[in-house]
Structure 1
């Protein structure tokens, strides 16, 4: 994921946690707020409660790959934080893809005019 598409600063995460609109399912939570940049930025939170470093990094890598793939299909101008829950551990890539797609549709940021 390109650097300009990542949330990297603690203050950005705190702002989103406090004022972002939440969308949830049993496996993940998405918090979203508009930004003034003209492109989306993504942050991923994977708690230490989810398992060892290998499991946490696996979830993080899969989410980065899914968000990079979905980025062109989304409406732009949002900051998003993706918070993985315990039930995410051990899920295959396809299951995480369905979870992310479900939350993106809940948040209504999928660009329906995009043909891919």
Structure 2
């Protein structure tokens, strides 16, 4: 995923937490904030140390990034998203993570139908 598509700064995360809306399932919490004048979406990832060691956390982040990469055509552009992984995500493989993310994004109505 390109660098301009990532949220890195703490201040950017805080703005999304405070002004955005959230939706969740058992594996992920997603905060979404519409940004005026932004042509592309940005993703921020948060994986707690409670989920496992660095290897596990990095694997979860890689899986989430790949899932978002595959869903990028369906995601609403111009939004900032912060994705927080919950404990069950540490025992999931890539396909389970992708389907769980798809579900939570549909719940939040930020995933366009691609029929």
Both proteins in one fold, TM over 0.5: yes
Distance 1:26 1:65 in 2: 20
Query: Counterpart in 1 of 2:102?
Result: 101
Deviations for 1:4-60, whole angstroms, at most 9, x for unmatched residues? 111111100011111210101111100001012121000000011110001000000
2:30 is aligned to 30
Alpha-carbon distance between aligned partners in 1 of 2:111 and 2:87, rounded to the nearest angstrom = 26
**Residues 32-91 of structure 1: per-residue CA shift (max 9 Å, x gap):** 010121210000000111100010000000001111111112221110000001111120
Gaps of 5+ in 1: none
- Runs of at least 4 residues off by over 4 Å: none
Secondary structure class of the residue paired with 2:66: helix
TM-score with structure 1 setting the length:
0.93
* Paired position in structure 2 for 1:43: 44
Please show how residues 1-116 of structure 1 align to structure 2 within 5 Å: 1-36=1-36, 37-112=38-113, 114=114
Count of residues in correspondence between the two structures: 114
The TM-score normalised by the length of structure 2 is: 0.94
